[in-house]
Structure 1
C-alpha cells in the first residue's frame, strides 16, 4: 500500500465515522422531538406550541451530542489516535501515514513503512465505535409512545395535569415491611476532614462511604412510634433520639463494613422491622510510590561523576503528607564493616502535599562520605494524611556501589619470601573460549603475537591442570606424565641472570599456585618383597602417602580425573607448539570429563525406614489403654456440626415446599428466625450475598408477603441456606465388594431357616 493510498483510507475512515455518529445523534434527536411533541399534545396543549417544544428539544440535543462527540471539529489525527489506542500492531505510529516523507527522519521513514504494511492488513477489519442500533431502537420506541399518547389525547383533560399535589411529590421511603409508616428519611454522610470531600445528603438507605465517615439518620414517621432503633450487623442496637414532628435522629461514626435495619414499636405494641441495608466502607489506600529511570542495582566507577538522580512518582487517593529517603552507607568489609543511616528529603518539591506529584532528589555520593568500594542502600517512604494514624508505604531497596579502583601488586622484598600475586586461574571453558577467539583473529594478528597468546593459553592450561592435580595428590609435575632425571639434564655453568634478578613464569609451581609440601624423612626397616614396611601384605594396605592413593574421590571418579589430566597434557602440548586448532579437541574432551565428574560427585541422601521407639517392658501385658487414642474418635470429634439451625431450617423449608399450598406456621417461623441469625453473622462480611434472603425471612415471619409470593421467597431463602453451609470434608468411603455366588446362597439359606 502506497502513502497516498493509506492517506486516502484514513480520510474514508474519518468520513465514515462522521456519518455513523451523525446518524446516531440524529435518531436520538428525533426520538426526543417525538416525545417532546406527544406529551404536551396529549394534555391538550396546542399543536403549534407542542411542535415548538419538539423542534427546540431535538435541535438542542443534536447540537449538544455533536459537540460532546467532537463531530464538528473531527480531524484525521483523531482517527489515527483511535487506531494507535486500539491496535497494538501499529506501534503508536499511524500518524506518520499523514505526514510528508520529506519531513521525516530516516528512522521515522522506516517506521512509516512498517506501519503502512500493518495498516494494510488491519484496514478491512477496522470497526469504528457507534451505537446506531441502540439509537434506532430508541427512535422506534419513541414513535410507538408518540402514537399511543396522541391516540388517547381526547380522553385526557387539562385537569389531570394539575391534579398532582405538592404532598404527592414528597419522598416516601419504599419498605417491604410497611411503606406507609416511614414518611421521610434523610441520610447525611460527612467524610473525615482530611479527605477533603464534602458532606452529602441522600435518601438511599444502602450506603457506600469513606472509612471513618460520620453518618446522620433523620427518620420521620407518619404517626407516633415507640423506641425507634437502628440494629447494626444484627448484634448492636442503638436507640435514636427524638426530634420534632415524629422525627428521630441518630449520629454515628462508621468504620466497618456490614449491614443495618430500622426497628420500631407501634402504639399497639407491635414491633416492626425494615429491610436490611448495606454499609460498605471504602478503605483509605496507602500511598503508591514508583521509582523512575533507575535500576535496582547500579555500579559506578569512581572516575565518573558520582551523582544519582532519584525520580519518584508519589500518589494517594486523598493526599500525601510526607515522604523521604532512608539511605544507609556501608563502609569496609568483613568484620570491620560499618553502617551509617541518614534521612534525606526531596529537593523538589519543597513540601510533599497533594494527591499526585513528581519528587526529585540528587544523591551526591561524595557528600554522603562514600569512597571506592563502599555501597549505598536506600528506599523511599511516603505517608498520607490519614488521621489519627497515617498509612505509609516503602519501596524496594535500591543498591548503588562504587567500584574499588585499588589493584594488588607483587611485592618483591629480599627479607620477605612470600609471593603476593593473586590466586587466579582460568576454567577449562574460559580457555576454550579464548582459544576459539585466538583462531578467529589469527589472520589479523601477527605471527609473534599469535605465538605469544598461544603460549600464554598453554600456561593457563598448565595452571588448571595443577589445580585439578591437587585432588589426586599430584601437586607437582613429577606425579604426572614421564619423569625426567635431573642428573641427565644439561646444565649451563654460566650464571643465569633471569633466575637471579627476574621472575620466571614458566616453571613448576610458579606464583605459589599450590602449597609446597615439606619433605618428610621416615626411617623404616627394609620390608620384604610384597609387604609394606610393617610386614603387612600389599593387597591389604591403603597407602595414604602414595600419589596414586591420595585422592578425595572414589575410584571411578579418580579414573576420570586422571584421564582428564592426561588430556590436559595434550592440550597444553599443542598450545605450546603454537597449534591451538589441534588443542581444541583435547580441551573439549577434558571439559566433558570435568562435567561428568561434577555430576558423579553429587551426594544423594537415601530415605531410611521407620525406626520405632523401644518398648517399655514394665508396661507390657498390663492392659492399660488410657494413652491409646482412637483415630475414628478423633476424626468424629473434630468434625462437629455448627450449623444445626441452618440444617433444621432446610428440612422445615423442604417440607413446606413439598406441599401443594404454602402454610407459614409457627414451626417454620421459628426455624427461619434462628437461621436468619446465623445468616446475619455471615452477612457482616458479605452483605451483598445474604441481605436479600434476610429481608425475605423477615417478611415471611411477619406475614407481609402475599400467598402467591411465598413459594418463590421460600425457594430463594432455601438457596441462600445451602450456600451458607460449609463444604463437608471428604471422608473415605466404605469399601464394598460383590459377594460370591456361594456367599449369596449361604445367606439366603440362613435367612430361610431363621
Structure 2
C-alpha cells in the first residue's frame, strides 16, 4: 500500500467541498438574472441569462478548487497531523531516490498513513455569505416578478379607476407621455408615465391614454388656450402638442371626473458662452520678436455650436484725432465636440498691417445649431497693442523692450534703495555706483516735485530753503506724470490729472528735464498762490512740508554727486517731516456755496420744537389687488380668528394671478394650486400648499421706523426727575 492515493482522496474531498460552497453562494444570483431576463425578454431571455450565469459559476468554481493543490495538501497534513513531524512532503516523492535518514523517515510516515484517513481536510461552509445571498435573491426575485409592466399602470387622479368592461363613468387606466425633442438638440425620444415633465423648448409631446370604459370624446385641456383633441385608435387615445412655453393642462373626457392640472415646463435653449482661454487678459502688449499671435477661444453650449465661426479683426493706426480703422472678417473652423469647441486663429502681425502705435482687436462671433432661429453671440474683444515707445531696429525681429510708465517712489523706498546701494558698493565699479546713485536722485527729484505742487509750485525751480539741484548729463530726461494727490507713502501710486478750472488754460508744452519751469504742474494743472485755492494746509503744516522739501533738496544733491551716505540723514529727516505733515489736524478747504437752510434766530432758547422733525410716514395702504391675496391667505387659515376670516374668493384670486403673472416667481404653480382647491375643497394638504404659495406672493410692505411709545406713569415721573 502506498500513501499517496490515500492522501489524494482527502484532497479531492476538499476540492469538491469548495465547488459546492461556490455554487451555494453564486446560484441565487443566477436565479435573479434569470427572472430579470424572463421579465424583460421572455423565455429566450431567461434561458440566455441562465446559461451565461451557469458558465460563469462553473469557471469560478474550478478556479477556487484549483487553489487546493498539492502544496495546500502538504501544509494541511503538517498542520493537522503532528505525528507526520512536518515531513508530509516525503510521501509525495519517489521512494527509490530516498536513502539514509530520509528513507528512514519516509518509512516511518508510511506506517502512520492510516491516521490521515480519520482527518477531514474539507474547508468549512461559508454560512453567512450563503444566507445573505439566498435572502437577497428571494427579495429581488419577488420584486422583479411582481413589478407592473411598463405602460399598464393606471394613473387615475381622482376617484377609483373602474375595471375594464364595467359600466359607469370612464376612468383613466393608463397614460404615457412620449416626448420628441427638436432635432437640433440631438436628444432621443423618451417616454414616461409621470404627467408632469420638463422638456426642451419646441418639443412635441404626445399623450397615450387608456380609458375604461371608453368615452365618446377626450381631449387635453389647456387653460387660456385651445384644447388638443385626443383621437381613438382601438382602445388607446392619442394626441400631440408642441410645447414652446411653460403651460398647465389636464386630461378631460366625456363624463370623466375633473382631473387635477399638470405642468409642462419648456426649457429654453441657452445662448452659447464664449470664453477667452489664451491670453489670460483682454489687453496684451507686443513682445520683442513677436511676429504671430494666436488667441484661443472656447465656446460651450447646451446642445452644440456650429463648427464654423467668424473672426472680426480690427486694426487701428495713428493717434489722437488721426486714428483710422481697418476692419475685416474671416471664417474659422473649431475643434472638439459640438458642445465645447475651441477656436484658435493664427494672425500674422505684418500681414495685418501692425505698426508702432497700432492696436489689433479680434472678436469671435459664433452661433449655435438652434432651429429655426440661431443664437448669435459676440465674444469678448481681445486687444494686442504695439506701444509707440517700442523702438524698432529692423522690422519685428529688432524690437526693443517696451518702456513701461514711470511711477513715483515713496520717501521710504528711496531710503531703502540708498541703503541697499551702500551695501553693494564693494561689488560695483565707481561708474556704475555713481550711475545708480544718480538714478535714486532722479526718484528723489520726482517725489520732491510731487510734494512741491502742494506749496503752490514754489519749490520746483530752486526750493524754499536753498537746496540746489545739480545738473547731470548722464541721466536721460524722464517725463513725470501729472498728479494732485494728497501726500502719501505708497510704493507705487498712479497720479491723476489736475481738474480744469474756469478762466485758465492748460499748458501747451511737455516737461523736458527736472528743474525747468515747464514742468508737469504747468502742463496739466495750475500754479496758484493766492486766496483759499493756494493750499490745503494750515500754516504749521505748510511750514513742516516746506522743511521736508528742503531736506529732499539736500538728499537729491548728495545722491546726484554719488554720495548716498551723505544723503541718508536728509532723507530720514524728510521722512519724519512727511509723517508730521500727514498727521495735520487742520485742513483749509476751498470756499463753496452752502445749501443749509437759514437759521431762525427768533426760536432760539424758546423750547419750541414744532416742525423741526419730519412727519411720521403714513403706513402703507394695500391696493385692492393685494387685498384679494391677503384675504385669501387669511381665509385658508386652519384656525381662523372669530369674525375675521373673509370668504375664500378663488375666482378673484385666479384673476389676480393672471394679471400679476409678470411679478410672480412661479405663476403656474399658484394657478394649479388654486384649481386643485376649487375642485377638491376638502383636501387639507391642497389648502396648505395654496396658503404657502400665497405667502410668498404677497408684496412685502416697506420697513418704516415707528415713533417710540409714550412712557407710562412711572416712566414719565422718571423722565421729569431727570429734567
Give the TM-score, by structure 2 length: 0.58
- Judge conservation of contact 1:302–1:405 (CA < 8 Å) in 2: no
How does 1:130-279 map onto structure 2 within 5 Å? 142=136, 170-177=152-159, 179-180=161-162, 181-223=171-213, 225=215, 228-232=218-222, 234-240=223-229, 242-244=231-233, 249-266=238-255, 272-279=257-264
* C-alpha deviation, 1:576, in angstroms: 5.8
Q: Distance in 2 between matches of 1:275 and 1:138?
A: 45
- Judge conservation of contact 1:316–1:384 (CA < 8 Å) in 2: yes
- Judge conservation of contact 2:357–2:388 (CA < 8 Å) in 1: yes
Larger mean Cα displacement after TM superposition, 564-573 or 729-738: 729-738
What's the counterpart of residue 517 of structure 2? 515
* C-alpha deviation, 1:141, in angstroms: 5.7
- Judge conservation of contact 1:320–1:354 (CA < 8 Å) in 2: yes
What's the counterpart of residue 543 of structure 2? 559
Q: Distance in 1 between matches of 2:548 and 2:51?
A: 98
CA-to-aligned-CA distance 1:538-595 (integer Å, 9 cap, x gap): xxxxxx999xx98786533431232012212432454366431231232233245456
> What are structure 1's unaligned runs of at least 5 residues?
1-24, 41-50, 66-134, 150-160, 409-422, 484-498, 518-543, 615-628, 659-666, 704-709, 745-754
Q: Distance in 1 between matches of 2:280 and 2:592?
A: 44
- Judge conservation of contact 1:220–1:245 (CA < 8 Å) in 2: no
CA-to-aligned-CA distance 1:27-54 (integer Å, 9 cap, x gap): 99676467689999xxxxxxxxxx9999
Aligned CA distance change for structure 1 residues 207 and 464 (closer, same or farther; 3 Å): closer
Aligned CA distance change for structure 1 residues 53 and 337 (closer, same or farther; 3 Å): closer
CA-to-aligned-CA distance 1:447-503 (integer Å, 9 cap, x gap): 4543465466557756765776563535543864299xxxxxxxxxxxxxxx9xx97
Are residues 1:319 and 2:299 paired?
Answer: no
What's the counterpart of residue 344 of structure 1? 330
Q: Distance in 2 between matches of 1:201 and 1:730?
A: 50
Q: Secondary structure at the match of 2:635?
A: helix
> Whose relative contact order is higher, 1 or 2, with alpha carbons under 8 Å and at least 6 apart?
1
Aligned CA distance change for structure 1 residues 230 and 356 (closer, same or farther; 3 Å): same
CA-to-aligned-CA distance 1:256-280 (integer Å, 9 cap, x gap): 22322123332xxxx7322222212
Q: Secondary structure at the match of 1:320?
A: coil
Q: Distance in 1 between matches of 2:388 and 2:235?
A: 83
Q: Distance in 2 between matches of 1:693 and 1:294?
A: 52
Aligned CA distance change for structure 1 residues 343 and 639 (closer, same or farther; 3 Å): same
- Judge conservation of contact 1:328–1:339 (CA < 8 Å) in 2: yes
Q: Of 433, 440, 446, which residue of structure 1 is paired with 2:423?
A: 440
What's the counterpart of residue 382 of structure 1? 366
Aligned CA distance change for structure 1 residues 26 and 381 (closer, same or farther; 3 Å): farther
Aligned CA distance change for structure 1 residues 376 and 249 (closer, same or farther; 3 Å): same
Larger mean Cα displacement after TM superposition, 136-145 or 251-260: 136-145
- Judge conservation of contact 2:448–2:552 (CA < 8 Å) in 1: yes
What's the counterpart of residue 677 of structure 2? 697
Q: Distance in 1 between matches of 2:572 and 2:715?
A: 74
Q: Identify the structure with the greater helix proportion.
A: 1
- Judge conservation of contact 1:36–1:57 (CA < 8 Å) in 2: no
CA-to-aligned-CA distance 1:145-197 (integer Å, 9 cap, x gap): 59999xxxxxxxxxxx99x999x984533322453422444433222222233
* C-alpha deviation, 1:288, in angstroms: 3.1
> What are structure 2's unaligned runs of at least 5 residues?
1-21, 38-45, 61-128, 163-170, 393-404, 477-510, 520-527, 601-613, 718-723
Give the TM-score, by structure 1 length: 0.55
What's the counterpart of residue 98 of structure 1? none
Residue-pair matches, total: 529
How does 1:529-678 map onto structure 2 within 5 Å? 554-575=538-559, 578-594=562-578, 610-611=596-597, 635-637=619-621, 640=624, 642-644=626-628, 647-648=631-632, 650-651=634-635, 654=638, 671=649
Aligned CA distance change for structure 1 residues 364 and 202 (closer, same or farther; 3 Å): same
What's the counterpart of residue 619 of structure 1? none
- Judge conservation of contact 2:620–2:701 (CA < 8 Å) in 1: no
Q: Distance in 2 between matches of 1:363 and 1:690?
A: 56
Q: Distance in 2 between matches of 1:582 and 1:36?
A: 95
Aligned CA distance change for structure 1 residues 431 and 741 (closer, same or farther; 3 Å): closer
- Judge conservation of contact 2:298–2:340 (CA < 8 Å) in 1: yes
What's the counterpart of residue 362 of structure 1? 346
* C-alpha deviation, 1:384, in angstroms: 0.1
- Judge conservation of contact 2:285–2:384 (CA < 8 Å) in 1: yes
- Judge conservation of contact 1:676–1:697 (CA < 8 Å) in 2: no
Q: Distance in 2 between matches of 1:456 and 1:505?
A: 7
Q: Secondary structure at the match of 1:642?
A: helix
* C-alpha deviation, 1:368, in angstroms: 0.9
* C-alpha deviation, 1:718, in angstroms: 5.0
Q: Distance in 1 between matches of 2:385 and 2:634?
A: 68
- Judge conservation of contact 1:472–1:551 (CA < 8 Å) in 2: no
Q: Secondary structure at the match of 1:290?
A: strand
- Judge conservation of contact 1:324–1:382 (CA < 8 Å) in 2: yes
Q: Distance in 1 between matches of 2:593 and 2:177?
A: 69
Q: Distance in 2 between matches of 1:224 and 1:556?
A: 103
CA-to-aligned-CA distance 1:365-403 (integer Å, 9 cap, x gap): 111111022122223222101123222334333221124
